[in-house]
Amino acid sequence: MPTVRDLQAMAGEEPITMLTAYDAVTASIVDDTGVDIILVGDSMGNAVLGHDDTLPVTLDEMASRVGAVARGADDALVVADMPFLSFGADESESIQNCGRMLKEEGANAVKLESGPHTVELTERLTELGIPTMAHLGLTPQSVNQTGYTRQATDREEAEEIIDLAREHEAAGAFALVLEHIPANLAAQITETVDIPTIGIGAGGDCDGQVLVFTDVVGLSERSPPFAEQFGDVRGEVADAVDEYINAVESGEFPAESHSHTEDELEDLY
């Protein structure tokens, strides 16, 4: 399993791969492929829990999914995405919530949707031995303020993100997710900071890339414009279910090979 230092050493040398997972089975599949980081994202709200956004995801839901993923992954670094209002309001409570993901659920690090309010928290978490990944640009937990549009498209906002990237690096963040910002801004941030940058909709000059699992395998009904579908799992699943229904309705399933009989149970009535 790579440590955060191993990942930092990869910056500029070897592309870092990160995917989301929300259960042990998916985590095992993703882990076996050799992905570097598995993010248990609050994107589970949209991807698997049926919500319109990430805001309803609870701390207990996240903890349950983090534990499942940690049990399914042997080699990848498991990062717990801290859900809305589980951090930032009270430092002590924030630390306890983040610590729970490592102490009780088996995560190796946490991720915070970041801003000026998370700089001191990142520093304190790092001091306590909780590796922290920062997240700048489009932060879905701020959807009611920003929507899902591309961020930092003007000079002032871009400079703010660069400053925040530097501040979180200085606070001890071991890596930085950059979401849905101009590619040339992401390239400048990658050049400016020494910690790895991991992009999602931020161009190819970041040190690594992350996408949502359901988008990658083609399980989502809709995907963001910066995602790529590398398979058609949704179609494969639908075909398999159709075949099952047809087999049951036609009497082909279950066959004799799927059942057994006991001679001594004959003529009970």
Indicate if the pLDDT at residue 201 is higher than 90.
yes
Kindly state whether residue 108 falls inside one of the protein's structural domains.
Answer: yes
Kindly state whether residue 244 falls inside one of the protein's structural domains.
Answer: no
Annotated binding site: 42-43, 81, 111, 113
Q: In total, how many domains does the chain have?
A: 1
Neighbouring-strand partners of residue 37:
18, 77
Handedness of CA 48, 229, 26, 206 (dihedral sign): negative
182 neighbors 204 (Cβ within 8 angstroms): no
The catalytic residue among 61, 179, 243, 252 is 179
Residue appearing with tokens 């690090």: 109
Distance in angstroms (rounded) separating the CA atoms of residues 193 and 120: 18
pLDDT at position 263, please? 87
Buried b (16+ CB within 10 A) or exposed e, 145-166: eeeeebbbeeeeebeebbebbe
pLDDT tens digits, residue range 105-133?
999 999 999 999 999 999 999 999 999 99
Kindly state whether residue 238 falls inside one of the protein's structural domains.
Answer: no
Helix (H) or strand (E) holding 13: none
**266 tagged catalytic:** no
Q: What values do phi and psi take at 197, rounded to 5?
A: -105, 135
**Domain coverage including residue 115:** 4-231
190 neighbors 18 (Cβ within 8 angstroms): no
Q: What values do phi and psi take at 247, rounded to 5?
A: -70, -40
Report the predicted TM-score, pTM, of the whole model to 2 decimal places.
0.95
pLDDT at position 135, please? 98
pLDDT at position 28, please? 98
Indicate if the pLDDT at residue 266 is higher than 90.
no
Average pLDDT, the chain: 96
pLDDT at position 267, please? 83
Annotated binding site for 3-methyl-2-oxobutanoate: 42-43, 81, 111
pLDDT at position 222, please? 87
Indicate if the pLDDT at residue 57 is higher than 80.
yes
Kindly state whether residue 85 falls inside one of the protein's structural domains.
Answer: yes
State how far Cα 27 lies from the chain centre: 11
pLDDT tens digits, residue range 120-179?
999 999 999 999 999 999 999 999 999 899 999 999 999 999 999 999 999 999 999 999
What CATH number has the domain bearing residue 162? 3.20.20.60
Distances from the Cα of 27 to the Cα of 11, 33, 213, angstroms: 24, 10, 10
Kindly state whether residue 79 falls inside one of the protein's structural domains.
Answer: yes
Tell me what the mean pLDDT of segment 7-30 comes to.
Answer: 96
Three-point CA angle 76, 164, 3, nearest 5°:
20
Annotated binding site for Mg(2+): 42, 81, 113
Tally Cβ neighbours within 10 Å of residue 27: 27
Indicate if the pLDDT at residue 41 is higher than 90.
yes
Kindly state whether residue 267 falls inside one of the protein's structural domains.
Answer: no
Distances from the Cα of 76 to the Cα of 105, 128, 177, 179, angstroms: 15, 22, 17, 22
Neighbouring-strand partners of residue 27:
none
Kindly state whether residue 152 falls inside one of the protein's structural domains.
Answer: yes
Neighbouring-strand partners of residue 208:
16, 198
Kindly state whether residue 201 falls inside one of the protein's structural domains.
Answer: yes
Tokens of 164: 């925040």
